[in-house]
Amino acid sequence: MNKLEKNRFSIFTKDLSHCIICGASNPDINEIFMGRNRKNSMIYGMCIPLCRLHHLQYHIDRGMQLFWMNKGKEEFIKKYDEDRWHSTFRYIKG
């Protein structure tokens, strides 16, 4: 897991040094899908840079989570395909 965490990337942005929402520097890198799909988030670039405030908001705001999860699904399917989405993130509804 340490190696995955150190090599995280994002399919949403190349700039991991600024919050994707407000542009603040020194963000945390947050995996869009948590729990059993956290590792898959890191493997497939389903990560976003978030400042501390937006990172905390992400973990309590279900609407924000759903926005990024839906956006992640769209980008994943564009980059790979829908069958791979279902086999990789099989526990995600939708």
Residue 43's pLDDT band (boundaries 50, 70, 90)? very high
Q: Is the pLDDT of residue 2 over 60?
A: yes
Q: Is the Cβ–Cβ distance between 49 and 27 less than 8 Å?
A: yes
14: which DSSP letter?
S
- Is the pLDDT higher at 64 or at 35? 64
Q: What is the pLDDT of residue 11?
A: 94
Residue 45's pLDDT band (boundaries 50, 70, 90)? very high
Model confidence, pTM: 0.87
Q: Measured between alpha carbons, how far apart are the two ends of the chain, in Å?
A: 27
**Segments making up each domain of the chain, as ranges:** 2-88
CA-to-CA distance for 46 and 71, rounded, in angstroms? 10
Show the tokens assigned to 40. Answer: 């898959």
